[in-house]
Chains A and B, each alone.
Chain A
Amino acid sequence: MGIGLPRRYLFLGLAVIAVLFFFPYYAGDFRMNQLGLFLCFVMFALSLDLIWGFTGILSLGNAVYFGGGAYFVAMSLKLKYAATNPARYGSGIPDFMEWNGLTAVPLWMRPLENIWFAAPAGVLAMGLLAFVFGFIPFKRHIYGVYCAVITLAESLIFEELIIEKQAYTGGFNGITDYGSYSSNITFYWIILAVTVFFFWFARRLTTSHFGMILQSIRENELRSEFFGFEVANYKIFVFTVAAMMSAIAGGLYAALNGIVSHQEIGPLLSVEGVIWVAVGGRGTLIGAFVGPILIKGAESLLSEQFAWLWGLLVGLLFILVIVLMPDGIVGTLIRRARRKRALAAGRQPAYEPSAVGVEETPTTL
């Protein structure tokens, strides 16, 4: 596809950034916090768009890295909070540790007390994990549905691990009550700045020659292999970069939200991310912004209006978008423009490939 934002729409992008920048002034703290969280989801969706939308790898385990980054930050803040507020828990260690019979913070966890160590360590750890989790299937030429199943299993494993090891993770309840950066306009702006940076970064990556090779892999990885590209290396690289982006998004999310739980690391968020990208439009980057903002926004507004009906309505919205616009909202708009251009040039496109289904087994000849 290769079409993100044409240059003449640059002013539109700047206008959107300006609106987001001044949003807290007219919307209040509650909505600001909400939008901050949505922006974290946007970053998460962006990373998924890189691996799914551009490279064609359907990952149902992208939340592992988002949740991983989130847990590193939450744990760090929690350790610090417990140590500086000993009166709150009695012994200066996180509440869940105390409930599970620990009397001191385990030695290996001590370095995490420093957030300036914990946050980058989380991002690097997730990068390393993604490298390993990417290396195994991609070097073995596992793709399509099989790859999706493997990543889903990874997501399940980590969710289970978080729930089971509750003395170290807070278990089912997650990590809560560690002080957060909510209602902090500076922190909101930091999140916005990182989101804009990620957009710029993803746009540069996908419009470069490297990005074109990623798309060639999505279109037909066999053809690219016979053009001398070691496809597995490209996949491992983009998978790792995307995981680190997710980890940063997760860390910011944890700091803003003040609570992280197993849901942020498990299949639930992983699949939600896929839905956001699908609704917004795969391989468009802008879709990764439109998808989560629209769906999470609708979820929030509808849940305030309709106590029990809202889940149904969001589901309906999702189905409607996918049925009416299989390429997502942004993807469909781009295709319409493209078709118009082709017709203007006096050519009826004989066959229009749909972006949906590209992740299926590459064309075998």
Chain B
Amino acid sequence: MTANILEIHGLVSVVSRHPIINHLDFAIEEGELRVLVGPNGAGKTTLIDLITGRHRPTAGQILFKGQRIDGRARHEIYRLGISRKFQVPTVYDNLTVFENMSIGLRGHRSVFSSLSYRMTPAAVEQIERVLAQIKLLERAREEAFTLSHGEKQWLEIGMVVASDPQLLFLDEPTTGMTREETNATARLIRDIAKTRSVMVVEHDMSFVRQIARTITVLHQGRKLAEGSVREVEDNPKVAEVYLGKVKISAVS
């Protein structure tokens, strides 16, 4: 059995007396590719927000490689090796694709180290390698606002990959993509997940089937089910939650 890179014990997040995350226990194994699904308002994005330090949990513990990280600053959590892609693709519109990538690149985070930082050929090569992977190499010199929605998704994925995290959260990485783009994204994510732990939040079940080994279903801030694609799809509780939809497999 491999060690858990992330462990969550009794996590609670209450926003104006409404529990968004409700006594959640959750773990991700080292090197795992996990998919998190759940209806709107299940607390998927909030969970990522809590882990990456956007919000403080009301109660409970978050452990990254055995170390408590709940309540720590965002930049500190990043520096431990945790990155995230936002639900809405969030890139720097007025910077070029290449510049966007260089912001993502790991290293030189403090004011004074960034003042003296000169990009090395190795760094340029690394950026170009990722750009080739996300098919944006030929647009490297263009400002990010010229990209389509799907391309922005890829750029942000590229940026977080360049930041070389040990644990990566991808919040709805295929929204706004065509079927072909979605398939390409699935290949990309499988590739990324070879060398790190990844958790993907996604609605698109055909996409989920392409990448998932283990699925966790979140509902009203609690873990409703967890298991392989088949186990989760056959779970009657899951079918019930996706109201109207008799089986989760119908959602695609």
- Binary flags per residue of B81-99, CB closer than 8 Å to A gives 1, else 0: 0011011101111111001
A233/B143 in contact, CB under 8 A:
no
Which residues of chain B are within 8 angstroms of A224 by Cβ–Cβ distance?
103
A355 to B143: give the CA distance in the assembly, Å.
14
- List of B residues within 8 angstroms of A363 by Cβ: 88, 90
Other-chain contact of A2, B86, B96, B114 (Cβ < 8 Å)? B96
Would A233 and B111 be within 8 Å (CB), given that A2-B95, A209-B102, A227-B103 are in contact? yes
User: Count the A-B residue pairs with Cβ separation under 8 angstroms: how many?
Assistant: 98
Known contacts A228-B163, A365-B90; A208/B146 CB under 8 A = no
**Among the listed A1, A208, A233, which residue makes an inter-chain contact with B94, where contact means beta carbons less than 8 Å apart?**
A1
The answer to whether the Cβ of A225 comes within 8 Å of any Cβ in the partner chain is yes
Q: Are A365 and B94 in contact (CB under 8 A)?
A: no
A162 to B21 CA separation, bound complex (whole angstroms): 54
A338-B103 in contact (CB<8A): no
A225 in complex: contacting residue of B74, B88, B94, CB < 8 Å: B74
Stretch in A104-112, A147-155, A343-351 with 4+ CB within 8 Å of B: A343-351
- Interface magnitude class on chain A: 35 or more
- With A209-B102, A210-B115, A365-B86: A350-B146 Cβ-Cβ less than 8 Å: yes
Q: B52–A229 contact, CB under 8 A? A: no
With A213-B103, A228-B75: A347-B146 Cβ-Cβ less than 8 Å: yes
B102 near A230 with CB under 8 A, answer no
CB of A183 closer than 8 Å to a CB of B:
no
**Which of A210, A228, A229, A355 neighbours the largest number of chain B CB atoms within 10 Å of its CB?**
A228
Which residues A197-239 have CB closer than 8 A to chain B?
208-210, 212-213, 215-216, 219-220, 222-231, 233-234, 237
Name the CB-closest residue of A to B85.
A226
Say whether B78 contacts A228, CB under 8 Å: yes
Given known contacts A210-B111, A223-B86, A227-B163, A215 and B148 CB-to-CB distance under 8 angstroms: no
A352 lies within 8 A of B145 (CB): yes
Residue ID in chain A nearest B74 by CB atoms: A225
Q: Are B83 and A226 in contact (CB under 8 A)?
A: yes
A225–B86 touching, CB < 8 Å: no
> In the complex the two chains form, is A226's CB within 8 Å of B110's CB?
no
B146:A212 contact, CB within 8 angstroms? no
B145 touches A351 (CB 8 A): yes
Per-residue CB proximity of A218-262 to B under 8 Å, as 1/0? Answer: 011011111111110110010000000000000000000000000
What are 15 A-B contacts with C-beta separation under 8 Å?
A2-B94, A208-B114, A213-B103, A225-B75, A226-B78, A227-B78, A227-B83, A228-B78, A228-B109, A230-B75, A233-B110, A338-B143, A342-B146, A350-B148, A363-B88
Show the binding face of B for A, using Cβ within 8 Å.
52, 54, 73-75, 78-79, 83-84, 86-88, 90-96, 99, 102-104, 108-111, 114-115, 117-119, 142-143, 145-146, 148, 159, 163
